[in-house]
Amino acid sequence: MATATTVHQVRRPSGLPTPEDFAFVRGPLPEVTTGTALVENLHLSVDPYMREAMDYDGWGGGNDLDTPLEGRSIGRVIASRTPGLADGDLVFHRKAWRTHALVTPEEATVLPGWAGVPIRTRLSLLGGTGLSAYVGLTRIARLQPGEDVFISAAAGGVGTAAGQIARLLGARRVIGSAGSAAKVRHLVDDLGFDAAFDYHDGPVGAQLAKAAPEGVDVFFDNVGGDHLEGAIENLRTHGRVAWCGAVAQYNDLGNPPPAPRNLYDVVSKSIRLEGFLVREYNHLQGELEDLLVPHLRSGALKPDETVVEGIDNVVAAFIGMLRGENLGKMIVSL
């Protein structure tokens, strides 16, 4: 008899999560009841926001213990008792960290087929990762052609998407920070960034000033902390900050890094700083697809993904992503 595997969070982590914070639970396939469909998951997303969700219970976006983490997933319907989903449909849903999921039509979106575009791209450039980058650049930072952009954690999923989308939107120069020399080379040689630096090599502000001696117009922030301080130092008057994440503090929410010492420059330089949650912009999904799909088909846009195989490796993939072991979006394929 076929079995299903779910990966439960069983305790709150202290600092970086460890394998002991999770348990693999195996049992029979969920029973398909009227109004539901059984999905065999094909690709699972692991993302930085999941670390924050591990620290508190489900009310308000956290995760209850002894349950799988919520997350973006792609699967195929293998049994259905609802007219909204048919056997064989490829669907997007948010019941991750498991091999099989029982969903309703309201919980799943049947995915269109794009010739020449791998389906797992719906978890990277065409998913929440790409939408985060698109929203931050177009709606929050309001990037204009000819402007210069700095992106922190630029070799991660959202960072690599933001760099490529910024170029499509007409950015003059795209600059990124990353955590190793290999990632810096990847950004410049493979993804077309104009400049990049390893933030371990010196103060962010000084390195950014060297890469962009005339300053930058837009900062897309995935880190916070010293990156935000260094960016404020180098933003031009009327610069904009689109604050997407704060990976610098996810593993220690009780002891966040100090606020930027130059925060008042937000006032003196008339800088606009705005945070955002991508879930408030799901209505822009079609706009994202209209922009990106032609470039994906032509090869001008490259899905930057690190793919790990097998449900048994989902915890290792998640922890590896938090350690920065991935290039681009981390995806677990089942």
Which CATH code fits 128-279?
3.40.50.720
Q: Name the residue among 99, 102, 98, 94 with its Cα closest to residue 8.
A: 98
d(CA 23, CA 202): 40
Per-residue model confidence (pLDDT) at position 256: 72
Q: For residue 16, is pLDDT > 80?
A: yes
pLDDT digits (tens, 9 = 90+) for 208-249: 999 999 999 999 999 999 999 999 999 999 999 999 988 766
The domain ranges of the chain are 3-118+304-333, 128-279
Structure tokens at 8: 């439960």
CA distances from 75 to 167, 247, 285 (A): 32, 28, 19
Model confidence, pTM: 0.93
What's the pLDDT at 254? Answer: 61
In this predicted structure, what is the pLDDT of residue 258? 78
CATH of segment(s) 3-118+304-333: 3.90.180.10
| Local structure of 333: helix, strand or coil | strand
Task: Decide if 3-118+304-333 and 128-279 have a common fold.
Answer: no
| pLDDT tens digits, 286-301 | 999 999 999 999 988 9
pLDDT the model gives residue 129: 96
Helix axes 157-168, 128-135, angle to 10 degrees: 50
Mean pLDDT confidence for 27-43: 97
Q: Which of 102, 148, 157 is nearest to 129 (CA)?
A: 157
DSSP summary character for residue 13: -
pLDDT of residue 251: 60
**Per-residue pLDDT reduced to its tens digit, 136-182:** 999 999 999 999 999 999 999 999 999 999 999 999 999 999 999 99
pLDDT at 75: 98
Digit-coded pLDDT (tens) for 302-313: 899 999 999 999
